[in-house]
Amino acid sequence: MSQTNQTWVTEFFLLGLSDDPQTQLLLFVLFLAVYLGTILGNLLLTALVLLDSQLHTPMYFFLCNLSLTDLCLSTTIVPQTLIHMLSRKKLISFTGCVVQLLLILFFGCTQCSLLAVMSYDRYLAICDPMHYPLIMTWRVCGLLALGCWFSGFVASLVDTTFTLILPYQGDNRIAHFICEPPALLIVASADTHISEMGIFLMGVVILLAPVSLIMISYVCIIVSVVKMKTASGRLKAFSTCGSHLIVVIIFYGSGIINYMTPKSAKALGKMVSVSYAVINPMLNPLIYSLRNKDVKRAFRNAVNWKQFCST
């Protein structure tokens, strides 16, 4: 059939993670549990930071921003995925797909910048503690956070534009459970080379550049930590930075695989997307709270205060 005889796509059919009813039911239960854990964990962490004055520091300010991106990213993806798991027709309108695409890129790219800023914050706190309060003022923190959100907005517009400049005619079946550029480019009705190059170059800016800065920061941090005289200081530094490094490996690793590798290497694209778009938002508050004495102390204080008020 020639391209002129093909009709423009008005809706997409998301094939999802599986077409087996029993597997879909199991995935529904797992995704629902993960989503509830994401909501509870991020809201609890944010509440503890807001209520405990000892957590009113730049590190936890950026952590609250990270929790907000986790909540928004997960809410953009999981509720619709849950509905599709229980329905036969996993349809999404073209407009709905575009909105989801833009929001996923916005919150995901914002998180890329936030993780880089958080590594810079840890670098200053550990490698230059004397000047840290002078550099990381609340004004600077606010500007850095605003810059992260703005960079996410710009990057999402660029990637969305490169995805939508292509015609979508004929085939409307997306072998994915969400609308994101790698999956949409496969069903485009034209040569995708220019769009792929544009998205790849944006990946260099929003993925490779931040992760490179993070790695440089951690090399400097490791050198400074090794030079510390006290074992307790080294342990605290490694504990705080270890949490951030785990998040970085999971998030950037899966993002680079999906957005910066050839099509032949994306056979597990859906599973990779589950990692950074569904699982990672739940893991972030767990990783930061379970490995952080300050957060655990704030939680105990909140529980004790609640018990005191109820008596």
Q: What is the CATH number of the domain that holds 290?
A: 1.20.1070.10
Are 77 and 104 within 8 A, CB to CB? yes
CA 42 to chain centre: 13
169 beta partners = 8
pLDDT digits (tens, 9 = 90+) for 104-127: 999 999 999 999 999 899 889 888
Alpha helices for the chain (secondary structure H): 21-51, 58-85, 94-127, 132-135, 138-164, 181-186, 193-203, 209-226, 231-259, 269-274, 280-290, 293-310
Whether the predicted pLDDT of 197 surpasses 90:
yes
Number of domains in the chain: 1
Are 260 and 200 within 8 A, CB to CB? yes
> Is residue 1 domain-resident?
no
Q: Which of 249, 142, 151 lies closest to 202, judged by CA? A: 151
The domain containing residue 74 runs over which residues?
11-310
* 69-73, 183-187, 197-201, 242-246: least confidently modelled range: 242-246
Residue of higher predicted confidence among 308 and 15? 15
pLDDT digits (tens, 9 = 90+) for 115-161: 999 989 988 988 888 999 999 999 999 999 999 999 999 999 999 99
> Is residue 117 domain-resident?
yes
> Is residue 306 domain-resident?
yes
Q: Rounded to two decimals, what is the model's pTM?
A: 0.89
